[in-house]
């Protein structure tokens, strides 16, 4: 696997702020595209208020840079939209197609 470094993040929006969170995440795509070390970046919704981000990186350094970057800062700056703090988990990709 050429990109074993990843993050999986669960983001739970306040019910009345879910569309704002959806817009925030959709609007973060250009930020992810600008990160040279981010190989893949997905923002998805699995319920009206539950969102996930899954992203992969070329190296541990790239993963660390992303964690210190603009997307995490944007989510943190908009904590008032969230029901709980985001759960951000570093992950190792075991297999991918």
CA 10: distance to chain centroid?
8
97 domain-assigned: no
CATH number of the domain where residue 82 is located: 3.30.70.100
- For the chain, what percent of residues have pLDDT higher than 70? 99
Domain boundaries, position 69: 5-92
The predicted structure's pLDDT at residue 3: 84
CA angle 66, 69, 75 (to 5 degrees): 105
Cα–Cα dist 63/17, whole Å:
28
In a domain, 11, yes or no: yes
| Counted domains in the chain | 1
Question: pTM, whole model, 2 decimals?
Answer: 0.93
């Amino acid at each position: 696997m050429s990109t074993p470094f990843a993050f999986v993040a669960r983001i739970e929006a306040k019910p009345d702020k879910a569309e704002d969170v959806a817009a925030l995440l959709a609007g973060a795509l250009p930020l992810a595209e600008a990160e040279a070390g981010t190989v893949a970046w997905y923002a998805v919704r699995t319920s009206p208020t539950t969102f996930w981000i899954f992203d992969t990186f070329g190296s541990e350094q790239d993963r660390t840079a992303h964690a210190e970057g603009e997307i995490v800062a944007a989510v943190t700056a908009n904590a008032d939209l969230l029901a709980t703090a985001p759960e951000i988990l570093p992950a190792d990709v075991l297999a991918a197609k």
